[in-house]
Chain A
Amino acid sequence: MNAKIKIGVAIALLGCHLFILFPGFFAPYNPIEQNRDFPYRPPELPRLRDAAGNWHVRPFIYAATGDDAGTPARQAAVPIHFFVSGARYQIAGSLHSRYHLFGTENGARVFLLGTDELGRDQLSRLLYGARISLFAGILATALSLAIGLAVGTFAGYYGGVAGAAVVRVADFFIALPWIYLLLAVRAFLPLRLGAGWSFAVIVIVLGFIGWARQARIVRSVVLAARERGFVRAARGFGASDFYLLRRHVVPQTFGVLLTQATILIPQYVIAETTLSFFGLGMSEPHASIGNLLSALQHYDVLVSYWWMYVPAVVLVPLCLGYSAVASAVHDRFGKAYL
C-alpha cells in the first residue's frame, strides 16, 4: 500500500471515530428506548421512488406511525428530514442537545438497521455500543502502555536481577493463550456488576493482561538507549537518572508505543466484544458491540433476523483501518531513532 492510500485510510478512520465518539447526533434515537410495537423490524433503506412509480426529491420511507402501528395494511410514505429535533442527548457528558442528523418530523420511526426484540433501534444501539467498545479499547490500551512503559523502563534502565525477573514474568504472560488468560482473570471477579463497574473491570482486566509485550518492547528500546552516546554524555554532565529518563530515554520509546497503540486498540475492541458476547462484559440495557451480538446465540434470531449480524461486520473496516494506520505509523515512527 502506498503512502497516500494509507493517509486516506487514516483520515477515514478518524471520521469513523467522530461518528462513534459522538453517537448522540448521528443516532436517531435513544439506544435504550423500547418500542414494543416494533420487535425485529427489518432494516429499511430510504427510498426515492414510491409504490406508484413516482420519483421524489426528498428520501422517504414507508413507515407505520406510532398510532396505526397495529394496522399493518397501508403504511404512509414518511419523508426523512435532516437536522431534526428529537430525543435529548448529551455531548461529551455535559452539553445537552436535541438535534439529530436525520429523522422524521411526525414521530414515525426510521429503523435503518432494523430493531431488536424489544424494538430498540439497532443503528442507535450500534453507535452507542461502538462508543463503549472503542472507549474500552482506547482506555485499556492506554493502561497497558502505561504499565508496559513503567515496567519496561524500570527493567531496561536498572536491569539487574529485578529486570531479569520482570522479563521472566512478562514471557509467562505472553506465552498464555490470551482468551484463556482474559477469562481466567475475569472469572475471579464478581459476575454481576453495575454499568460503571463492569466498564471499569473490562478496562482493567484488558489493560492488565496486555502489559507484558509492551514491557518487553519498551525494555529493549531502553536497553539500547541507555548505552547511546548522548545518554552517556549527559550522565557525564552530572545528569540525574530522572533527567536522563525524562529527556533522553523515555522519548525514544514514543514511536514504538504509538505503533503498539494502533495495533492494540482494535485488538482490545475485539476483546471487549468477546467478553460482552460471553456475557462477562457490559450488561443490558447498555449496548456494546459484543452485547448486540449475543442476541445471535438464540437460534431463532440467527435464522430469521440476519440484521442482528451487522455489528459483527462493522468490526472489519475498523480493524482494516487500524492495520493500515499501524503500518503507516510503523514506517514513520516504528524504529526508534538510531
Chain B
Amino acid sequence: MNLLAIDTSNQTMGVAVLRENQISGEIMTNIKKNHSIRLMPAVEELMREISMTPEELNKIVVAKGPGSYTGVRIGLTTAKTMAWALNIPVVGVSSLETLTYQAQFFPGYICPFFDARRGRVFAGIYQWDRNKPVPVFEEANMPMEDLLNKLVEEQKDVLFLSPDIGLHKEMIKEKLGVLAQIPEEVYHLARPSHLALAGMTRKAEETHLLEPNYLRLAEAEANWLKQKKENGQNG
C-alpha cells in the first residue's frame, strides 16, 4: 500500500509517505509558521524526492485533532479533497492517539494532551496492548486539575506526552509525584510516520463524512445551546 499521512493539527507539521507499507520518507517541522502555506509544498517535495505521483497513492491518513481548529481544518480539507479527487480512502486518526506511538513500549498509562487554555487540556488516557494503543478513558476537554485528580485515584504509572508539557509539568509532578513519567523533549512531538502506521490498517470512513475531532463546541454554539436550555427551563 502507498500511503500519505498529513498532520497539521498542532504546531508540528508532518507529512509522511509509505511505499509498499514501508516508510519512504517524512518531513516534520516544529516551528511557528503557517501550515496553510507550507503543507502542499511539503507534500509535493516529499513525493518528488521519493518519485511517487499522486495517482500512485492508495490511501490518505490525516490527524483529525484535537488541536488548533484552523490547523485541523487545513489538514482535513487537504486530505479529504485529495482522497475524493484520487478516489481513494481517507482515514482520520486522533492527534492524541498518534502521540501514544512515542511510548509504545511503556507498560503503564500513557497520557497524551494538548493545552486548551485557561487551565484546560484536550487529553486522553491510553494503554498499549501488544501492537495497538487502547483508550482507557474517552478523550475529553477538561481542566488539567480534574484529569490529574482522576489519575491520582488510579495509582498507576503515567507517562505524559505533550508539546505543551512545559506549561503543566509542575502541576503534574506536584499531584502525581513518582507516578508521573516525563520523557525528553523529542518524545513530545507527534511524528507523521507514526500517524501513517496508525492509519495503515484502519478502515476508511466515508470521505464526505470525515469530520474534525474538535472536542469542543464553537463558543457561539455553546452559548446558543445554554441560552436555549435556560429559556426552556423558564418557559
- The reply to whether chain A is a binding partner of chain B is no
* Interface residues in chain B, defined as those with a beta carbon under 8 Å from any beta carbon in chain A: none
